[in-house]
Amino acid sequence: MSNPASPPAGRLLDQGYELTFPPGFRWGAATAAYQIEGAAAEGGRTPSIWDTFSHTEGRTVAGHTGDVACDHYHRMPEDVRLMADLGLTSYRFSISWPRVQPGGSGPANQAGLDFYRRLVDELLAHGIEPWLTLYHWDLPQPLEDAGGWPARDTAGRFADYAQLVADALGDRVRHFTTLNEPWCSAFLGYGSGAHAPGRSDGADAVRAGHHLMLGHGLAVQALRAARPEAHLGITLNLYPVTPATDSPADAEAARRIDALANRFFLDPVLRGAYPADLPGDLRQVTDFGHVRDGDLALIAAPLDMVGINYYSRYVVAAPVSGTGPDAYWRAPSCWPGSEDVRFVTRGVPVTDMGWEIDAPGLVETLERVHRDYTDLPLYITENGAAFVDAVVDGRVDDPDRLAYLDAHLRAAHAAIRAGVPLKGYFAWSLMDNFEWAWGYTKRFGLVHVDYDSQARIPKSSARWYAEVIRRNGLAAQ
Ligand code: FCB
């Protein structure tokens, strides 16, 4: 079958040779500051909760830290050249809060801001649009010491920081994302303790979730005032939640997990109210006394886009009879009030994270957000897979990752055909990096990183992705 070099603009349907994306579709890759930058103590940067956490014994695999990571802080121009070679039209990165505002309050650190000014200038010089995320999990340690996200004041600190970044970079950055995956910050950071700061208290996790969203709302207000032309959004990690069987008890388990994982954030941000069923599910955990009048109106500040990170589906089942919440509810968990729900595996192929590969779940997720919540443009701000890679003769062939990306891009295209206003896709990740509590043991990159030499090798998935971008579409299967 022939593949024309320039597919007809705007043609969406599979014409037997190519699945073409809409004109102007954004093709990107994503990273996060702590996962790639390194230079943890340079240029005036001070510790974040992830520095403290990763330096605490037993918190990360093999004690790995982000001290050096991919050394991106020193290799940034080389990394931007890699992006340009891939043909990326957009690059999603995050700002390290303690690099630009050490301590989390007070004046800006110009040396830190200069790094991001150079990064943005380099991107623009290569025709790559910067997509800036303000918070990808690296809270300045002094703010954690003052109570962290469970403390209301942290929301105000975040808005001040947003203002500082807008003042410094708003002349050259148009796309701002406030938070990356507040579910993880709240429920892994303060519920299970699997992520920094490693605290385990269900009520704190719920408060953290609220104050993260309040910080988002206040930051949107500050950004709008500073830069009326800015394009503002939030990134949520969303999952379809499917009951393991058609029993009413499994349906109830799915409803509870969906409330905590998805609707806890979707409803306040896009509808201005918590879901009606949530307080009942959390009655043993919190009375929501931390929510003040006017908070939800702030949280629901109008946005220009919604970012969705999609990796997998949850399949859940009712608790084993005879246990019940009392047996669990004080144990560290990222599902406060629903600790006893069982997560089951279906025996389908998984990635190196053990996450089930489920491309149809991406279509479901996109359609749900569009149908039930918003007409706003949607962006897939992360999607990708960890697999074990090997360097052989200087090459890295990663057919499993390539197949994962291909399947999910086909799903993205199906969602567009079904009417979802999906405007862009960012692969996670540009390069292998510090995968949080997993350290360097999980590789998600399009580009392989040798952590001893810091050599970068584009994998075969990177070459394939470059071709997808060049065609603005996928070859027929
Ligand atoms: C997401 C995070 C990102 C990365 C991927 C694998 O939850 O936003 O930093 O760790 O998962």
For strands 422-428 and 378-382, give the pairing: parallel
Q: In the prediction, which pLDDT does 351 show?
A: 98
In this structure, what token pair is assigned to residue 93?
């990165």
pLDDT for 17:
54
Choosing from 122, 129, 144, 181, the catalytic residue is 181
Tens of pLDDT along 158-215? 999 999 999 999 999 999 999 999 999 999 999 999 999 999 999 999 999 999 999 9
Ligand 1 atom 4 nearest Cα? 435
The pLDDT of residue 8: 41
- Answer yes or no: 181 catalytic: yes
pTM of the shown model: 0.96
User: Distances in Å between the alpha carbon of 295 and those of 149, 183, 190?
Assistant: 15, 18, 21
DSSP state of 327: G
Q: CB of 428 closer than 6 A to ligand 1?
A: yes
pLDDT band at 325 (very low <50, low <70, confident <90, very high): low
Q: What domains can you pick out in the chain, each with its CATH number?
A: 9-474 (3.20.20.80)
| Beta carbons within 10 angstroms of residue 15's beta carbon | 12
pLDDT at 11: 47
Indicate the residue type of 13: L
| Amino acid identity, position 281 | D
Q: Which residues partner with 140 through β-bridges? A: 48
Average pLDDT, stretch 372-381? 99
For residue 305, report the distance from its CA to the centre of ligand 1, in Å: 20
For a substitution probing ligand 1, which of 436, 438, 442 has the most ligand atoms within 8 Å of its CB?
436
Q: How far is the CA of 280 from the centre of ligand 1 (A)?
A: 30
Pocket lining: 196 vs ligand 1, CB cutoff 6 Å:
no
Tell me the two tokens of residue 38: 């390194």
- What whole-number distance in Å separates Cα of residue 144 and Cα of residue 140? 7
Question: How far is Cα 102 from Cα 105, in angstroms, rounded to an integer?
Answer: 7
Cis amide linkage into residue 243, ω under 30° from 0:
no
Q: Compute φ and ψ for 129, nearest 5 degrees.
A: -75, 130
Atom nearest to 442 CA in ligand 1: 6
pLDDT of residue 326: 54
Closest by alpha carbon to 216, among 296, 103, 288? 296
- DSSP string spanning 110-161? HHHHHHHHHHHHHHHHTT-EEEEEEESS--BHHHHHTT-TTSTHHHHHHHHH
Distance CA 307, CA 179 (A): 10
Residue-averaged pLDDT of the chain: 95
Phi–psi pair at 164, nearest 5 degrees: -60, -45
Tell me which H or E stretch contains 76.
Answer: helix 72-86
Tokens 């030499």, residue? Answer: 453
SS3 385: coil
Q: How confident is the model at residue 4 (pLDDT cuts 50, 70, 90)?
A: very low
Q: Residue 18: pLDDT band by 50, 70, 90 thresholds?
A: confident
Taking the CA of residue 435 as reference, the ligand 1 atom at the shortest distance is: 10
In this predicted structure, the answer to whether residue 471 has a pLDDT above a threshold of 80 is: yes
Q: Cα of 433 to ligand 1 centre, how many Å? A: 10
pLDDT in tens, 35-63: 999 999 999 999 999 999 999 999 999 99
* Ligand 1 contact, 436 CB (< 6 A): yes
Determine whether the shortest distance from the Cβ of 180 to ligand 1 is under 6 A: yes
- Percent of residues in the chain assigned helix, strand, coil, to nearest 5: 40, 15, 45
Q: Return the number of other C-beta atoms located less than 10 Å from residue 282's C-beta.
A: 23
Tens-place pLDDT, residues 384-400: 999 999 999 999 999 99
Residues ≥6 apart with Cβ < 8 Å to 146: 153, 154
Average pLDDT over residues 295-323: 93
pLDDT at 114: 98
* Strand extents, DSSP E, 361-434: 378-382, 391-392, 395-396, 422-428
Kindly state if the Cβ of 364 falls inside 6 Å of ligand 1.
no
Ranges 1-5, 118-122, 148-152, 283-287: which has the least confidence: 1-5
Helix (H, G, I), strand (E, B) or coil at 314: strand
Nearest in space to 132 (alpha carbons), one of 42, 57, 213, 33: 33
Neighbours of 61 (CB within 10 A): 14
Higher pLDDT pick, 13 / 346: 346
d(CA 83, CA 78): 9
